[in-house]
Chains A and B, each alone.
Chain A
């Protein structure tokens, strides 16, 4: 019999006061989502209307460059575009015309707004409407903002999916919709588990192709697979669909709770649920137990990055035996992560947004065993002797559901195992080479210049 997750005796974190500081936020903008979205939607092209900075971000964000001709590009605004806005719309028509003529395989084109395009108030939704009329029915043109003044990292995916919802056809079919871009192999696992319980039809958003026949309506119930889809959640509810709030499917417990919420909504009997989930649950528990051995009793500190922080903290504290010191997320949407907060024992600081310098001070004071942070902070923290896990890998890797639960724990344990394995420091012979410069940057003893 599957047990219901035990709630923390102290009460969960849902009502814990949230620390909000305002200062430098060390996070990506929403454009970054294009890196995985363009692989997921195979007939879509993402055209960023922005600056050279946007193009540079896209090619640097993944940490590697993807050198096939990608299905994304930047229309770089130039001095002439900034002078008059009428020109910018004409220029955009020209660029899109060239692009679609060359890439006849494109069925969905996203015009993606950036910081500069928003500051000059370039109306991309108008452009998208105009272009949809022009290129219908072969190409659908949509727009959304991935700008850093509006969106943080994974919110780019949210904005993209939310933009797709209003144009989906209406349907009255009773159906389950899974929302969030997942690696194909993971998505198939979810579909097969739910299918084995007799749940169907099941649709996914985003679909791999525009012509997948996805419709939406009041008989659609949806479950989110990613915790950063607040706007998409709202857009789906506006179309009459109803949300199944559940802990996110990370780890054995999270996956079971997520599946159970859906199973209950579709009237799956307990025996069927047990039959379908028993074997993978046992496998997941075993894999987690192995991978989390070095994590037990260790402390973890989350910098805000992908918005996966709260569900992951729930997984690490409840299933891997870690202690959370601080859990911060760019935004905390309680309608979405509430069930995870309920399961998270009180104790850690919850924070929303960031003042990176103050947060680094807290992290240094706490000296956690593991810090989960962005790529800009990882090496500097390692140099201070703090083990880190880069958050971006959590968005790019297969980490959801039972079969990946062990891998997910492994992503966190690897940095700690590596520290145990390495024997490269020779402090007695070479005190200055212990992993960083002794003198902090910017505090040169030579004093000020006249």
Chain B
């Protein structure tokens, strides 16, 4: 039993729903109790989908247990086929149905459904959402894709995008254009946009672009083996990675590398003098492994940030993220425990977080700016405008998104100069975020019926412990308060580390400035 407050990933059947909902002409019959239908709103509300997810839930109740849950499944499957006439069906169980062991796959096999019915085995008590998506897509591909003649022209499949994915919609457009510039057309995009008939013709492509290893790596490996299609290993997020991706595609296809950089602005924006203030900003990265790995490279090489910590919540990516952390000389944080991530961030006191919506809230609480780089998604992660992460436009988007939460260059100086000004005070926050003053308190969403006292937090304790042996003298504490809020956390931490390293128990104004000189850069 594991005590969980918030979760980064849903259960595996939600991953299967992301595949099914992204596709067309496929229907998912899910053996599940009625409450599991909440998952529909993830798609209709967060992603603003204008159709119900193509999922039929059996919605069995307590009184059905032990009598006719199996019949209920059969009826639901028959009805779903008759009503929706899909080209193929996937069938499986959610966590509760897994316990009653009705075997949806076995039952479906005994019925005369005239289209392919693909059974899913998704262990709900061991695995999570990304696994569910990856496994579901793999099972669909394995069941439907066949070796076939290649297209005359060089084509590829884009694999990995799903419903409820972080900017998948726009990444598809960006990568399609980029490949088209090289003379490569897209055969099939899957799972998102593909029908089962499209899956059947995956084999016609010359190679696969694995956009998101989280959701399609197993299928990519299977197609490499069974359909003899190589797949790309570089995820084209950031300028360097996109250039590497083009080179990799050129290597696979034998075509000349070509990348239209006419709209690319990140390199110049990063070199321009206003960006000087980005130098060495201490950033912490957390999210799914793929986005974190890509963001780490952009942060260090293209923004000039100092990566002080990184990690991912999906254990499937633990190995590459550990290797990456080693390369960056930091401790990897591999966990799906939100509170642990919060403790790490509190201890590291970064100047910025590149994380998920969960870290955005941690940042709000701790007064640290945060830009979102990865799922789990929020309605904000489906902007109306074109906003890819991949390719040249993706790099531009990253620059804007990451700089936006920070206090801008000259404003930083003004805050130093006029720190007692009635407008330039701690609580005012960056001036371009009109009207919003960062409150130290957590955001309380959802219009709760009654305002409650703020509960004690774990995070506060951590801070007490780490600083327990150190005493800030009153004078030093006052001096610290004169430092603008957005660097105060760093100053406090640096001073404490400096003092601890030297066995100094009391922090004076002197210590503060010695530390400042020590860390000057």
Contact = CB atoms under 8 A, between A and B. Distances in A.
B447 interface: yes
Interface residues of B, number: 95
A64 B377 CA distance: 11
Contact of B452 (A23, A29, A39, A357): A39
Contacts of B446: 35, 62-64, 66, 396
Interface in B353-394: 357-358, 361-362, 364-365, 378
Contact of A442 (B50, B86, B124, B457): B86
Contacts of A77: 1, 125
Contacts of B503: none
Interface stretch (A91-99, A158-166, A318-326): A91-99
A53 B94 contact: yes
A42 B1 CA distance: 26
Interface in A392-450: 396-397, 435-437, 440-444, 446-450
Contacts of A40: 449-450
Contacts of A132: none
Interface in B259-286: none
Given A148-B35, A441-B54, A447-B197, A52 B128 contact: yes
Contacts of A168: none
Nearest to B45: A375
Contacts of B445: 62, 64-67
Most chain A Cβ neighbours within 10 Å, of B9, B27, B48, B195: B195
A26 B33 contact: no
A444 to B, nearest CB: 4
Contacts of B452: 39, 42, 71
Interface stretch (B57-65, B215-223, B228-236, B504-512): B57-65
Nearest to A104: B456
Interface stretch (B76-84, B290-298, B319-327): B76-84
Contact of A375 (B36, B41, B87, B457): B41
Contacts of A49: 1
Interface in A17-41: 23-32, 35-36, 39-40
B11 A23 contact: no
Nearest to A42: B452
Interface string B404-441: 00000000000000000000000000000000000001
Contacts of A359: none
Interface stretch (A111-119, A278-286, A293-301, A334-342): A111-119
Contact of A71 (B52, B358, B455): B455
Given A52-B95, A449-B116, A441 B34 contact: no
Nearest to B448: A39
Given A25-B34, A148-B33, A67 B358 contact: yes
A26 B450 contact: no
- Could you say which interface size class chain A belongs to? 35 or more
Interface string B18-51: 0000001111000001111111111011001111
Nearest to B57: A24
B458 interface: yes
Interface in A70-98: 70-71, 73-79, 81-82, 88, 91-92, 94-95, 98
A147 B33 contact: yes
B115 interface: yes
A185 B427 CA distance: 30
A67 to B, nearest CB: 4
B124 A52 contact: yes
B5 interface: yes
A18 to B, nearest CB: 18
Contact of A444 (B39, B42, B76, B87): B87
A105 interface: yes
Interface string A362-383: 0000000000001111111011
Nearest to B442: A68
Interface stretch (A176-184, A211-219, A254-262, A344-352): A176-184
Nearest to A383: B50
Nearest to B37: A26
B521 interface: no
Nearest to A65: B445
B3 interface: yes
Given A39-B448, A379-B50, A444-B197, A25 B37 contact: yes
Interface in A154-213: 181-184, 208
Contacts of A26: 37, 40
A228 to B, nearest CB: 15
Nearest to A49: B1
Given A24-B59, A66-B444, A149-B61, A442 B54 contact: yes
Given A56-B10, A444-B87, A148 B197 contact: no
Contacts of B5: 69-70, 73
A52 B45 contact: no
B448 A376 contact: no
Nearest to A436: B50
Contact of A380 (B51, B450, B458): B51
A394 to B, nearest CB: 12
B14 interface: yes
Contacts of B88: 448-449
A88 B33 CA distance: 22
B87 A396 contact: no
A357 B88 CA distance: 20
A265 interface: no
A378 B41 CA distance: 9
Contacts of B96: 51, 53, 115-116, 119, 148-149
Contacts of A444: 24-25, 87, 195, 197
A267 to B, nearest CB: 32
Nearest to B125: A79
A69 B5 CA distance: 8
B65 A437 contact: no
B182 interface: no
Q: Which of A32, A78, A376 has the most CB of B within 10 A?
A: A376
B200 interface: yes
A237 interface: no
B149 interface: no
B2 interface: yes
Nearest to A39: B448
B512 to A, nearest CB: 32
A378 B94 CA distance: 24
Contact of A61 (B38, B115, B339): B38
Contacts of B76: 23-24
Given A435-B50, A444-B87, A65 B125 contact: no
Contacts of A441: 24, 51-52, 54, 84
Contacts of A39: 448-452
Given A105-B455, A441-B51, A448-B114, A36 B449 contact: yes
B40 A376 contact: yes
A397 B448 CA distance: 9
23 contacts: A39-B448, A39-B449, A39-B452, A52-B7, A53-B13, A60-B42, A65-B357, A70-B5, A77-B125, A79-B123, A79-B126, A82-B99, A105-B456, A116-B99, A118-B62, A182-B449, A357-B83, A376-B38, A378-B44, A447-B87, A447-B197, A449-B87, A449-B144
Interface of A: 23-32, 35-36, 39-40, 42, 49, 51-53, 55-57, 59-71, 73-79, 81-82, 88, 91-92, 94-95, 98-99, 102-103, 105, 115-116, 118-120, 147-150, 152, 181-184, 208, 357, 374-380, 382-383, 396-397, 435-437, 440-444, 446-450
Closest 5 pairs between A and B when the two form their complex, measured CB to CB: A29-B35, A148-B35, A376-B40, A383-B50, A39-B448
Interface of B: 1-7, 9-11, 13-14, 24-27, 33-42, 44-45, 48-52, 54, 56-62, 65, 76, 79, 83-88, 94-96, 99-100, 114-116, 123-126, 128, 144, 195-197, 199-200, 339, 357-358, 361-362, 364-365, 378, 441-458
Given A81-B1, A449-B197, 8 more contacts: A51-B125, A66-B445, A66-B446, A69-B456, A116-B99, A375-B44, A379-B48, A442-B24
